């Protein structure tokens, strides 16, 4: 049974497998490697995933959702049709589609996977990712940090000893920076930094706001459909500026026509605040690794958003060298996840390599700190595992009671860098019973164990009695009870994915309808005509006729979209 590798992305997701001694990225029903991380519900309450769902963002924005990876590990939820979904359930549906595509390609059942996560994902986000896979019956053999996966894909472990690398991963929704060293067969991460709310989507959002301001548009008065249409148009303009000095932006809105010219200089000026935000994690990772830019042997760019020339220019200025991006930045993380899966299966074609990673955050507990007046002040943070500690790691620290007759000690676990817990992320709580005694007489050992998947386990031991407890994060705001997990598993199991041929038809209809919505005049009439021809071909129920009609319609839509003749 094959072990697959998955890049579960904010904008797009990919799946691959180690096949015939090489990485094989698996195409979806449309023959494409990238599956948009978008979910939609149609008028019959059927779930649509991927390309067809992405095209429905404009026509059915209220029943379509994207970028939900950014809300992983939170209590957020959204309603699509008659159903409510948590972020991990939406991610589970994307994983379900990838699993289905892999099974169709390999002709066997898939039950295990290596899944990539941003290096800067916190414990709750990692747990939510793991839970997403479990909800569709997929066992996670390893969560691999995206920059580490990229390092494996580039074969950095096959380079000369004692080399230092900087991996910059800017995807649709997250930014990761990792400093790695390869020495004597060990690929070691020295430092990680990043921002879980900084990615290509944020560049698009800033450009949209600039467009609204320049064109005198009140965003609050826009329909959902117009909002999504403008965003899609701006997203394409952002990509076009990679090879052009200026672009003319036009969109047919419900009550008007949008026209705006965007130059490369305008773009750089608009996104300057985001460029400043990108600098800090880079500088911090180098500082934590105790390295200067001149100490680096190579700088590697990962993630689709690094295609923007302004990003490459920024990195070149900071690091004072030209960054490398020889592997498709959209695919490189999945390549690494697949190679990691092959390493776990010990394929002979691969040279064995030891990978070590680090904890991206400091983890610790809340304590009461003594004041000069003899009283104690709660709310202070006591680190147990410092950020950038090599994992897996296990450390123990001891705390004691602070009041006479105290019979319980509340262990509250936090993640972050602030000295006050109110500024850090709450992970969970464990109430520990202790014998009644004088203040300071009873002690509890608290052990933090952080594993290779970046999952934290907490064990407490009362020193005087030897009583032990494990931390189950039941009081965490994002915990799912066993009953909730059971109900979610049942709900997701009942959602049937469209057969691959039907999924192709559905995507074509969604795309054609989107183009019809965007068009005016003769172009609109023409699109309506070719949709009718496709429907007639499907009505014949002749496989060959339908297959040819599908190819013909796809080609015509490519021509319409490529020429930009929609009015």
- pLDDT, tens only, 544-555: 888 888 888 888
The pTM of this model reads 0.84
- Segment 264-280 shows an average pLDDT of 96
For residue 230, the cross-strand partners are none
Distance CA 304, CA 329 (A): 5
- Segment 394-412 shows an average pLDDT of 93
Cβ atoms 66, 36 nearer than 8 A: yes
- pLDDT, tens only, 209-233: 999 999 999 988 899 889 999 999 9
Angle at the Cα of 21 (from 15 to 26), degrees rounded to 5? 20
| Reported confidence tier of residue 564, pLDDT bands at 50, 70, 90 | low
| pLDDT of the residue at 376 | 84
| Reported confidence tier of residue 185, pLDDT bands at 50, 70, 90 | confident
| pLDDT of the residue at 137 | 93
- pLDDT, tens only, 455-510: 889 999 999 999 999 875 444 445 677 788 888 888 888 887 776 677 788 888 88
The percentage of residues in the chain with a pLDDT greater than 90, rounded to a whole number, is: 61
The percentage of residues in the chain with a pLDDT greater than 70, rounded to a whole number, is: 95
**Of 357, 389, 391, 323, nearest in space to 154 by CA:** 323
| pLDDT of the residue at 157 | 65
- The 3-class secondary structure across 241-253, one letter per residue, is CCCCCEEEEEEEC
């Amino acid at each position: 049974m094959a072990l697959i590798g998955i890049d579960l992305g904010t904008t797009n997701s990919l799946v691959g497998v180690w096949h015939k001694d090489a990485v094989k990225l698996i195409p979806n029903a449309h023959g494409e490697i990238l599956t948009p991380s978008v979910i939609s519900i149609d008028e019959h309450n059927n779930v649509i995933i991927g390309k067809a769902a992405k095209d429905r963002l404009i026509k059915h924005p209220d029943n379509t959702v994207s970028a939900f990876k950014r809300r992983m590990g939170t209590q957020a939820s959204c309603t699509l049709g008659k159903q409510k979904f948590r972020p991990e359930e939406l991610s589970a549906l994307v994983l379900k589609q990838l699993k289905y595509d892999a099974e169709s390609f390999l002709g066997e059942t898939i039950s295990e996977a290596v899944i990539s996560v941003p290096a800067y994902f916190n414990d709750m986000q990692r747990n939510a990712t793991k839970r997403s896979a479990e909800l569709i019956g997929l066992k996670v053999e390893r969560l691999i940090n995206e920059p580490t996966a990229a390092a494996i894909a580039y074969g950095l472990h096959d380079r000369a000893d004692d080399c230092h690398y900087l991996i910059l991963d800017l995807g649709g929704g997250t930014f990761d920076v990792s400093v790695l060293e390869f020495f004597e067969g060990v690929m070691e991460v020295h430092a990680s930094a990043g921002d879980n709310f900084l990615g290509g989507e944020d560049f698009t959002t800033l450009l949209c706001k600039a467009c609204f301001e320049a064109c005198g548009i009140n965003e609050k008065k826009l329909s959902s459909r117009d909002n999504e249409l403008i965003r899609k148009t701006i997203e394409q303009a952002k990509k076009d500026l990679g090879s052009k000095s200026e672009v003319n932006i036009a969109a047919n809105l419900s009550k008007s026509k949008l026209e705006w010219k965007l130059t490369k200089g305008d773009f750089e000026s608009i996104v300057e605040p985001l460029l400043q935000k990108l600098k800090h994690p880079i500088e911090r990772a180098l500082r934590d690794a105790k390295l200067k830019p001149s100490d680096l042997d190579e700088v590697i760019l990962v993630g689709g958003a690094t295609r923007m020339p302004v990003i490459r220019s920024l990195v070149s200025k900071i690091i004072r060298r030209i960054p490398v991006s020889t592997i498709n930045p959209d695919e490189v993380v999945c390549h690494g996840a697949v190679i990691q899966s092959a390493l776990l299966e010990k394929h002979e074609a691969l040279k064995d390599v030891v990978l070590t990673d680090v904890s991206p955050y400091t983890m610790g507990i809340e304590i009461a700190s003594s004041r000069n007046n003899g009283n104690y002040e709660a709310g202070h943070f006591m680190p147990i595992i410092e950020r950038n500690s090599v994992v897996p790691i296990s450390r123990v620290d001891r705390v004691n009671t602070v009041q006479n007759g105290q019979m319980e000690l509340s262990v509250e676990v936090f993640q972050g860098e602030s000295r006050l817990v109110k500024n850090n992320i709450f992970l969970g709580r464990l109430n520990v019973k202790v014998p009644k005694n004088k203040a300071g007489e009873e002690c509890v050992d608290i052990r933090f164990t952080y594993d290779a998947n970046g999952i934290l386990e907490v064990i407490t031991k009362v020193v005087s009695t030897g009583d032990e407890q494990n931390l189950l994060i039941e009081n965490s705001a994002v915990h799912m009870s066993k009953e909730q997990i059971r109900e979610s598993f049942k709900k997701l199991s009942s959602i049937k994915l469209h057969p691959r041929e039907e999924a192709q038809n559905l995507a074509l209809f969604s795309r054609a309808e989107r183009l019809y919505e965007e068009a005016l005049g003769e172009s609109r009439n023409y699109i309506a005509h070719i949709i009718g021809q496709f429907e007639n071909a499907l009505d014949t129920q002749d496989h060959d006729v339908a297959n040819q009609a599908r190819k013909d319609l796809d080609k015509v839509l490519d021509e319409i979209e490529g020429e930009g003749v929609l009015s």
